[in-house]
Structure 1
Amino acid sequence: MHGRGLRHRLRGRLPMPLTHVAPVAHHESPAVRRRRRRVVAGVSVAGAGLLGASLSTRPGSKEFYGATLTVAGVWTAGGLLSGPLHLGWIQGRDRRLRRPVVTPIATGVGAFGFFYACALAARAIPPLDRAISRVLVFAEEGDEPLVLLTTLANGLGEEVFFRGALYAALGEERPVLTSTAVYTLATATTRNPALVLAAAVMGTLFGYQRRASHGLQAPALTHLTWSALMVRYLPPLFRRAHEETR
């Protein structure tokens, strides 16, 4: 009986599908919505420009770390100044609402596995191989703790802004599609097709997580988990591949 009860509780804690929207509502006044949209419009342009400039600096330089941390600060400050943000909830199969922790972390691990498999294939496609290598050089030639710090700071800042402020500013105007499109366009300033593709894929996932949970905790944890694994395990993969072809 004890074992059956434990299994029942564990099954109950399993999350509902990503398409299931938790029954939570956050209502905003027209004044808050107008303010949020003004802030979002300005920060979107400024952040996108700074993002493109950050990858034009020399890998491992003080300019690179300063620029990337500035971008993270702009995204984070813009999100926080736009208005109230919410962490969100995830609903289990037992219909109870809980803060999303385990599921988004597991999703981040799964997303990394998917991208790692794609990276294995991308090494055989010269344009993608070059594009990914241009990004990974910032991790290869940089100080590992600082690279991880800037990666996580930008991941968090992007979620605070794109899945926090921007998503809320859109209201009912197809927020998943529109927030992903803006996120992808901002990433396009880097002129790196690998980053743009990653932004489109992950931005869609983050958008659906935001839609399902009504908050930014789920996409933020997924983004941080995915980013940490990518910056740790992708550079050695491409380094070994290039060494083998010499």
Structure 2
Amino acid sequence: MIVSALRRLAVDGLHRAGLVGRSPDVEEPRATVVRRRAIVVATLVAGSVLLGFSLNADPGSTGFYVLTLCLAAVWAGGALLSGPLHLGRQRQRRPVIGPIVLGFVLVGVFVVGALVVREIGPLDRLVQSVLDLARQGTGPLVVLVTVLNGIAEEVYFRGALYAALGRYRPVLLTAVIYTVATLATGNLMLAFAALVLAPVLGLQRRATGGILASTLTHITWSVSMIFVLPPLF
């Protein structure tokens, strides 16, 4: 009975986090699909280029903030132009608490990984270069651009891109494309983080039929990492 109860709790927790199940996507007219795919491709190219420039800008510089805000505008603007997007539901409710809790769980996983990474010289230096953006930047501004870019990335990758892929393995392909786009930064640790995070966010999109769950998880994770990682390194 105890095992059965624990199993039910685990399954319920996964449902609340928006990780299990499959919500049917809205069927779109062929013309809408073609238009969405064209805009998604153009946005991906522009966004990847801007991502590379923004993460290689001088930490705390005006250029960094301008580029990251432009990047958020490109991801979100392209996604919204591509066609309608949906927030999604889980068990007839908007998924809120579960995705936030999942974000903190992911933070714990990454903290454990960070304790290992900091002992490996080359990997430690890659992480340090990213953390410099948080250390040398203005706190509230760093948080703001992190939140805006987290929202914009979800609107694009788990919103427009996922919808554009349709039935062509959207969870897998959005994860791969998100990781490859992150490689534009030239930082392998950022790409690795994307590789770990993206499948989870994709599963949330599939289970809920929208971008709310993945957005809440993404923001919770990314903002928490700004404050958690610097003291560890």
TM-score (norm 1): 0.87
Partners of 1:126 and 1:196 lie apart in 2 by: 18
Matched to 2:20, the amino acid is T
> How far is the alpha carbon of 1:153 from its aligned partner?
0.8
Matched to 2:22, the amino acid is V
TM-score (norm 2): 0.92
Partners of 2:20 and 2:98 lie apart in 1 by: 14
Note the residue ranges of structure 2 that are not aligned, 5 or more in a row.
1-8
Partners of 2:25 and 2:161 lie apart in 1 by: 17
Partner of 2:28: 28
> How far is the alpha carbon of 1:172 from its aligned partner?
0.1
Kept in 2: contact 1:51–1:190 (CA 8 A): yes
> How far is the alpha carbon of 1:14 from its aligned partner?
5.3
**CA-to-aligned-CA distance 1:143-191 (integer Å, 9 cap, x gap):** 0000001111111100000000000000000001111111111100001
Partners of 2:82 and 2:90 lie apart in 1 by: 24
**CA-to-aligned-CA distance 1:116-165 (integer Å, 9 cap, x gap):** 11101111111211111000000000000000011111111000000000
Shift in alpha-carbon separation, 1:144–1:85, aligned structure 2, 3 A: same
> Percent of pairs identical after alignment?
49
Kept in 2: contact 1:75–1:160 (CA 8 A): yes
> How far is the alpha carbon of 1:12 from its aligned partner?
11
Partner of 2:168: 173
Shift in alpha-carbon separation, 1:13–1:64, aligned structure 2, 3 A: same
Q: Larger Cα Rg: Structure 1 or Structure 2?
A: 1
SS at match of 1:100: coil
Q: In the alignment, which of 148, 171, 179 is matched to residue 184 of structure 1?
A: 179
> How far is the alpha carbon of 1:18 from its aligned partner?
2.2
Partners of 1:147 and 1:12 lie apart in 2 by: 36
1:1-246 residue pairs with structure 2 within 5 A?
Answer: 16=15, 18-22=19-23, 24-91=24-91, 97-238=92-233
Aligned residues: 223
| Cα RMSD (Å) | 1.7
Note the residue ranges of structure 1 that are not aligned, 5 or more in a row.
1-9, 92-96, 239-246
